[in-house]
Amino acid sequence: MTDPRRPTPDAAGSTTPPPGAAGPGAGTNGDESPGAPGEAGEDARAVTTRRGPLPGARGWVVVHGSAVFAMVVALASVGYFAEALHYQRGTSAQPGPGLFPQIVAVAMFVAAVGTVVTTWRTPPPAATEGGDEDHHPFRPVAVVVGAVLFVSTIHPIGFFFAAALALIVVEVGMGVRNPFRVALYSLLLAFVAQLLFVDVLGLTFFSKVHFLSLAPFAPGALP
């Protein structure tokens, strides 16, 4: 018997999961809201089912990831509450700037603890949580590194070079190994982005580097 949540090959030979699998009516487990449509963006790309829990520390983090995240939120809410104590609470007739954050902090702590408890009580969803075979943990890191590089270098080295650098980092991190392809696409995309944002929309940066930009030659910029 086939698992209804497993991807099924269709006529075009593609393997995409059944969207209804986690769609309407899917959430009937414990605290999940029943009958409401599922998060399609996430669930429609639901990953291949894997039998049994993941091994070792990574498995523990994947299975209990939401509890770990909730614990971080609980800790953050304690810090947030401590900071909120520095602001006046005021009176009921004149609530001060500290009152609302303190209420939010307490509610956030309760919600986070509730999440931890329900996660531990619910059977581990190791079979589908997070993605297995297709999961590439270092690719998102490459995208974040590329983004950080772009933001931190945009002013010192100019838009074109910062964009090209970020594009190269992301493409290589995403597994593109052909240097010609990386160079071609990076320079092309950086040029298009510069053309659109700097030359057409008129964005300005602190950098004096205007490599391949038409901005310094714009009528207003000419001496």
Q: Taking CB under 8 A as the criterion, which residues in 168-207 touch other proteins?
A: 170-171, 174-176, 185-186, 189-190, 193, 196-197, 200-204
The interface with other proteins within residues 58-77 (CB under 8 A) comprises 65-66, 68-70, 73, 77
Instruction: Confirm or reject binding of residue 57 to other proteins (CB under 8 A).
Output: no
DSSP state at residue 206: S
Site for other proteins, residues 84 to 113, rule: CB under 8 A: 84, 87-88, 91-97, 99-101, 104-105, 107-108, 111-112
Number of residues forming the site for other proteins (CB under 8 A): 106
The reply to whether 2 sits near other proteins by the rule CB under 8 A is: no
- Is 4 among the residues that bind other proteins (CB under 8 A)? no
Determine which helix (DSSP H) or strand (DSSP E) holds 112, and give its type and residue range. helix 99-121
Among 5, 54, 115, 161, binds other proteins (CB under 8 A): 115
The window from 9-17, 52-60, 214-222 that contacts other proteins (CB under 8 A) reads: 9-17
User: Which burial class, exposed, middle or buried, applies to 57 when counting CB atoms under 10 A from its CB (0-12, 13-18, 19+)?
Assistant: exposed
Coil, helix or strand for 14? coil
163: Cβ contacts below 8 Å, ≥ 6 apart:
150, 189, 190, 193, 194
Residue 105's φ and ψ, nearest 5 degrees, are -60, -45
CB of 162 vs other proteins, minimal distance in Å: 9
- List the interface residues with other proteins, window 129-168 (CB under 8 A): 129-131, 134-137, 139-140, 142-144, 146-148, 150-151, 154-155, 159, 163, 166-167
Q: Which residues, 6 or more positions from 175, have their beta carbon under 8 angstroms from its beta carbon?
A: 136, 139
- In a 10 Å sphere around its CB, with 0-12 CB exposed, 13-18 middle and 19+ buried, how is residue 195 labelled? middle
Token pair belonging to 34: 């029943």
Q: Any contact of residue 23 with other proteins (CB under 8 A)?
A: yes
Give the nearest distance from C-beta 93 to other proteins in angstroms.
3
Instruction: Please give the Cα distance from 213 to 215 (Å, whole number).
Output: 5
Which of these segments, 7-15, 51-59, 215-223, binds other proteins (CB under 8 A)?
7-15
